[in-house]
Amino acid sequence: MLPYASIDRPSVFSSATAASLPVWAVLPADIENGNLDDAGLAWAKAAGFQAAAGAVLLVPGQDGKLAGALFGLGEEGQCHPFIAGKLAQALPRGDWHIETSPFPGATMALAFGMGAYRFESYRKSAPEGPRLAIPQDTDAAAIQRMVAAVWLARDLVNTPANDMGPDALEAAFRGLAGHYKAKVRVVAGDDLISKGFPMIHAVGRAADQPPRLLEMRWGQAGAPKLTLVGKGVCFDTGGLDIKPPSSMLNMKKDMGGAANVMALAMMIMDAGLPVDLRVLVPAVENSISASAFRPGDVLQSRKGLTVQIDNTDAEGRLVLADALTYACEEQPDLLIDMATLTGAARVALGPDLPPFYTDDETLASALAMASADVVDPLWRMPLYKPYEADVKAKIADLTNAPAGGFAGSITAALFLKRFVAPDTSWAHFDIFAWSPKDKPHAPSGGEAQGIRALFEVISTQHPA
């Protein structure tokens, strides 16, 4: 089973036609103040419609047929910016368009597209849902591109590990590359040792499917170099420091960093941005067998630094370290890594607000602005230098699991920083890649985080 690897699939969007039905998005004040036509107002009052957030009231015509729908936004200033995702779940099948709304048409369409997502690969598909017309004064391709990317990331994360191991992740990676005519190179198995990726090999060598480094190249030679690195731990048992069952339950999502950089790469390639794009994904399973790496081992890294293993469940930073070292060998103009790296990030900021780390003040400012502009939450955290002492080990250059448990997300970022070349414009995103509860624009499950904000920054700096 291969998840979506292109934007060519049945669309939740339609072309605006005279046959499409109108949706009137309204606030409670619109009903209280009579800001509707007489028929619509009378029907809303007769039905007791209060325009609560996400509420839908179907409106009949004089002939008894469906004439449209009222959509409640909730109280002004309190409604979710992507509340229109509810429309994809509540409207009956058919073609619709937004007739009135205080939100921009592009926002409504994007929310609808994200809210229409369903992961139904393992059960009978639900009946076809409604379709929404993208307003004619809106960049329809941009909206479809973003929706497709979000769906791709969710599909990859939601697919269970028995169908999304390193082999399947490589197949999805190749499928994405093939669609956009990108080149792929893979270093796998024991070749990782001879080619200089010892920590990727160590983490993944205990699994049935060999570990590997996936590399994709696309774009214009001589253009600004953009490199994306995504953690591709397809399942994480914790290794010999095994996780308890409750912590292992969602570990199919530990390749969420890979899923998100692949989705970001899809947007970049689909938009034809003038960049020299490189995508690196270390794809492994952190499994248990006689060949598993052990607590107390000291691993060599591609960079030459030695790493003392104080917890085999802190494996993501190990595979990223070799990949980041490799990325820096070509001196990228911008280096981004994304990883479901630490539980500490979730303790600090919760599941919906991913932290990012960078010493590049210009990049940090651009990311903060883009995050607010496109409603893709991000929060900058500090690369606090005094904590670098916590990453030191007794018998090696570094430890992969500092003692004490304090500032776990920060010390993980500081560990990664040791493998990034000085003066590189680099940002690390410690994402959750999972929505624990339903939102208007997203069902619970795998989630895209940070990629719309990143695309906004990259496309602004390098417009097509």
CA dist 462 to 105, 271, 334, 398, Å? 25, 11, 12, 37
CA dist 290 to 236, 265, 307, 344, Å? 17, 37, 21, 30
Q: Are 36 and 24 in contact (CB under 8 A)?
A: yes
Q: Which of 145, 317, 418, 452 is catalytic?
A: 317
Is 317 labeled as catalytic in the residue annotation?
Answer: yes
Torsion of CA 168, 171, 173, 177, to 10 degrees: -170
Amino acid in the structure at residue 290: A
46: left (phi > 0), else alpha (psi -120 to 50), else beta?
alpha
- Residues of the chain by 3-state class (helix, strand, coil), percent to 5: 35, 20, 45
* Closest by CA position to 436, among listed 375, 376, 353, 317: 353
Q: Are 315 and 251 in contact (CB under 8 A)?
A: no
Q: Count Cβ atoms within 10 A of the Cβ of residue 265 and give its class: 0-12 exposed, 13-18 middle, 19 or more buried.
A: buried
Q: Which of 118, 195, 217, 243 is catalytic?
A: 243
Tokens of 207: 């699994």
> Which residues are within 8 A (CB) of 398 and not within 5 positions of it... i.e. 6 or more apart?
305, 306, 307, 308, 391, 392, 415, 418
CA dist 92 to 58, 69, 87, 95, 281, Å? 9, 10, 9, 9, 41
First to last CA, the chain: 33
Residue count of the chain, please give it: 464
Query: Where in the sequence numbering do the catalytic residues fall?
Result: 243, 317
